[in-house]
Chain A
């Protein structure tokens, strides 16, 4: 069977890079008795694929990987067995059983489905970022930034890649920018910040950006734009960045990856 796993990486685990997280889960699965599938050859590896790498220094409640098991297991069983072997600052939140793959069709992976990501970004006290800088980004109609991709480095309009910006206040979040229908549902506010403790004294906002291999807008690009508006050089240590969710297209609808069974 195939399953999609959603997990959280938080606290001091922010200091692990993507490769360390992958290695961590490969070992975690081997500490359970789940019959994971392996590739062939002298160095068999687990049939496991991660949706989108998360940089060192970031935490997340919306991480995903796909995995295959030799036999059938209930979602609840997989969830319980994985959580029984997790370290203190990792947790598995959803397991989605996926429809069996139909021969002669391309296997859909989490990675190929991704189209958007939600982040919560907090400027630490002591930086000169204020809520006005967040408002300014939300109101901007164009915001050129330099973006490096695998193949090229060039100017890019950040506004084209940010679809929502929400300001977090003491009470309800306030929407500052929205293209189309909002993905910030009550559920997202709850599940996306389940393992993140907000610093009340900080300037905090959430945003929805394009994601995936085609047109990724990283949270660091957004935080960098805020620094620029505040007239400061961007430093990762000025911010706390938490990935809340990854979204994919189910038919035409954009939903959190765990809701997609393909």
Chain B
């Protein structure tokens, strides 16, 4: 029997023990005698969430391709096992070898959302790694963070030795080889970290010093000495053809959230929605070639036996070869009964045609993400979707047999007025009216229009990074206004309204644009028992409030105030390629309700052309676009 870190006694008293046994199909095992660097990759949430993440699968495959490196995985133990591990002093272990994480050379933690920060501390604590980077010794793993939240790593900088800025495919081998060399030469942890800071993309927080003004804003942010780079530029894959992608992804035994083969068709987005961090930090859009995608689909399906494949990207409708790709996948795998699961495509004649072929129209619902209820507001956020496009899409869909529509919006966008909130309900009502305008014989029962709202949270590296966020009470007022307006509509029985809670949003806002001083509150919240904050049933708002109050963290300072154009922001030392001038120009244009064309229509000079790749240089996609539109 494979060695397991947990006893049968424990495994049989917890929920879903298969979360902790590893041994999945395509799991990588290596002979420890042939391994000189052990890397543990962590997604700080429960197994079913973490196993659904593409980024880890890419890095797992890549790192294991390097001779001498063994990359394993760990996820957050669920609360039931968490309690047992603390009580019985069981150290956190990796799934592959079942060995303690503390014995590894590296612990890599992907930071996908701010609400996972207490889980990061859970991981370190259960692994018996000192929470503060400054307390770690030669025998502790190097703790390295990556992923979207590392675009403002400051609130958690205290807990990490290194942050890898940008896309993981480019610099890991170099970093691990540097580690090998340092180990061989008997260099200290500090010497390694100093050397690592010179590898492009690496940010070593302990090598920087910050100071604050009296009003609490950042006064300075500077490296300790001249050898440490003052700015850290994000890493980026120039051409996916020469990069990595797992041909044999892991196949979990448990039903995970993304239980299917994931085909990333492109990275980045041409759209430039002003609230969207991913749309800015992953610029420029870079496509994978149709040929590569066909081959990957073939290999991954054969190696996993999955019965579903999905296309992944920020805006799959913008992939220039989408019709060919979908046509190929449908044709090639029809006999093998592979289900094509389509992400939210832009609703048009093409996508409706495809969807009607791959899903049961009577059961599925149609998704629109207008994000805002009025055209004025959609212009503010640069969401290039007009009311006519939405109503026309809905009309076509209803004719095609759909009768359920889901709509996603944000409340509290910069400059939002009462009429913009009410506009959400009016738009939903107009969609319902479109349905009832159809002749009775072509309708199938009642229409169902679902409105979902989340609260707008300004994020770093977006044009709204300077903008104030609304207070919890203001969010609740707008939610109530919308609810009341929905109830006034003629077709109110066909409309249903769901909203997110405003408490999570408040904390997420603080953490998203926070600075180094917040580490204390995160640590205190964790010590007070906060964990799995991203799970509404585990989020303890009252505890967080107490901790923030005790530490003098002001919601007003972090969330509600307008930041000045010349304020030094905690993340300003990071260079994502997009210039601050561009972001501010976009902020000004938003206030004038002026839209900005997408990257394929016209270059707006955001700055990422300096990387010399993707849409910025790609004549092929430009040509493709012309053909598409012609």
B 358-395 to A, binary, CB cutoff 8 A, 1 in contact else 0: 01100100000000000000000000000000000000
Q: A253 near B: Cβ within 8 Å? A: no
Q: Which residues of A contact B2 (CB under 8 A)?
A: 11-12, 88-89
Give the total of B residues in contact with A, Cβ under 8 Å.
31
For chain A, the count of residues having a C-beta within 8 Å of the partner chain is: 30
Shortest B1–chain A CB gap in Å is 4
Contacts of A12 in B (CB 8 A): 1-2, 4, 21, 23
Residues of B within 8 A of A30 (CB): 301, 305-307, 336
Determine the chain B residues whose CB is within 8 A of the CB of A26 once the complex forms: 305, 307
Contacts A12-B4, A20-B18; A27 near B25 (Cβ below 8 A): yes
Tell whether A261 is near chain B: CB-to-CB under 8 Å. no
Closest to A27 in B: B305
What is the bound-complex CA distance between A245 and B194, given in angstroms?
Answer: 62
Question: Shortest distance in angstroms between A121's beta carbon and chain B's nearest beta carbon?
Answer: 15
Whether B17 pairs with A15 at a CB distance below 8 angstroms is: yes
Q: How far is A225 from B369 in the complex, measured between Cα atoms in Å?
A: 59
Stretch of B8-16, B111-119, B324-332, B421-429 lying at the A interface: B8-16
Closest to A240 in B: B8
What is the predominant secondary structure among interface residues of chain B facing chain A? loop
Q: Give bound CA distance, A19 to B255, whole Å.
A: 9
- Partner of B302 from the list A23, A29, A31, A87 (CB cut-off 8 Å) is A31
CB-CB contacts below 8 Å: A63-96 with B: 85, 87-89
Any chain A CB within 8 A of the CB of B303? yes
Q: How far is the CB of B522 from chain A (nearest CB, A)?
A: 34
On chain B, the residues within 8 Å of A19 by CB distance are 255
Q: How far, in Å, is B96 (CB) from chain A's closest CB?
A: 12
Interface string of A16-60 (1 = CB under 8 A from B): 110110011011111100000010001110000000000011000
Which of chain A's residues have a CB closer than 8 A to the CB of B24? 87
Cα–Cα, bound, A59→B148 (Å):
43
The minimal Cβ–Cβ distance linking B299 to chain A, given in whole angstroms, is 12
CB proximity of A20 to chain B, nearest CB, Å:
5
Q: Hey, what's the 0/1 contact readout for B1-39 against A, CB within 8 Å counting as 1?
A: 110100011011100011001011100000000000000
Give every chain B residue within 8 A of A236 (Cβ-Cβ).
12
Question: Does B304 sit at the interface, judged by CB under 8 A?
Answer: yes
Choose among B13, B17, B251, B305 the residue that contacts A29 (Cβ–Cβ < 8 A). Answer: B305
With A11-B2, A12-B4, A87-B23 as contacts: A42 and B359 at CB distance below 8 Å: yes
Asked if A28 meets B12 with Cβ closer than 8 Å, knowing A20-B18, A89-B23, the reply is: no
- For residue A237, CB closer than 8 A to chain B, the reply is yes
B339 CB–A CB distance under 8 Å = yes
Q: B25: which A residues are within 8 A, CB to CB?
A: 27, 31, 87
For window 214-244 of chain A, which residues contact chain B by CB distance below 8 Å? 236-237
| In contact, B18 and A28 (Cβ under 8 angstroms) | no
In the complex, whether B253 has a CB less than 8 A from a CB of chain A is yes
Known: A15-B17, A42-B360, A237-B8. A28 touches B305 (CB 8 A): yes
Interface assignment of B87: CB less than 8 Å from any CB of chain A: no
Give the chain B neighbours of A56 by CB distance below 8 A: 12, 17
Contacting residues, chain A, for B4 (C-beta < 8 A): 12
Query: How far, in whole Å, are A249 and B599 apart by their CA atoms in the complex?
Result: 71
Cβ contact within 8 Å between A15 and B11? yes
Would A57 and B12 count as touching, CB distance under 8 A? yes
Q: Does B254 reach chain A (CB closer than 8 Å)?
A: yes
With contacts A30-B307, A31-B302 taken as known, whether A88 is within 8 angstroms of B9 at the C-beta atoms is: no
Indicate whether B337 reaches chain A with its CB closer than 8 angstroms. Answer: yes
Task: Point out which of A15, A17, A19, A88 has the most chain B C-beta atoms below 10 A from its C-beta.
Answer: A15
Give min CB distance, B112 to chain A, whole Å. 26
Report B-chain residues with C-beta under 8 Å of the C-beta of A43: 339, 360
- A sample of 12 cross-chain residue pairs with beta-carbon separation below 8 angstroms, ordered by A number, consists of A12-B2, A12-B4, A12-B23, A15-B21, A20-B255, A30-B306, A30-B307, A31-B302, A57-B12, A89-B2, A236-B12, A237-B9
* Besides A31-B305, A87-B25, A237-B12, 9 other A-B contacts (C-beta < 8 A): A11-B2, A13-B23, A19-B255, A20-B253, A26-B305, A27-B251, A27-B304, A30-B305, A44-B337
